[in-house]
Structure 1
Amino acid sequence: MYWYNPKTRSTETRPAPHTDAEARVLLDGNLNTESFVTEYEKLRDSGMNVEQALIFTGHEFRLRQLAFRAAR
């Protein structure tokens, strides 16, 4: 899967996780982990599969980062 990793603030290609637990590991270990996981869970609850929810989570935080930069 190709996605924006909000934890490292970079894009990467990696094997897609198969479970929610595997996805959460990718989002863990950052000061913003709680925000990342909350967004991921919201997307999963809306019916997205694991890979899609993780990609959209990364995309959401990338857009927030760009909006913050533009507001400066």
Structure 2
Amino acid sequence: KTRSTETRPAPHTDAEARDLLDGSLNTGSFVSEYERLRDSGMNVEQALIFTGREFRLRQLAFRAAR
């Protein structure tokens, strides 16, 4: 997978969301963040969006620190 934006139907279950997060070297980190957000009360779609946002912000912060 690439670091690009995709337009896809929103997942309805945690299993569908985890399938979307699978396939990256960072899958474990993505799933951990997603589960943390779900445990905090976010719905499936919102947690998935915030997971992507969090990792994008980390990537930008890493680039800025160089």
Question: TM-score by structure 2 length?
Answer: 0.95
> What secondary structure is seen at the aligned counterpart in 2 of 1:13?
coil
**Segments of 4+ moved more than 3 angstroms:** none
**Which residues of structure 2 form unaligned runs of 5+?**
none
Structure showing greater relative contact order (alpha-carbon pairs closer than 8 Å, 6 or more residues apart): 1
Aligned-residue CA RMSD (Å): 0.9
Of 2, 17, 36, which residue of structure 2 is paired with 1:23? 17
Unpaired runs of 5+ in structure 1?
1-6
Question: How many residue pairs end up in the alignment?
Answer: 66
Q: Whole-Å Cα distance in 2 between the matches of residues 21 and 8 of structure 1?
A: 21
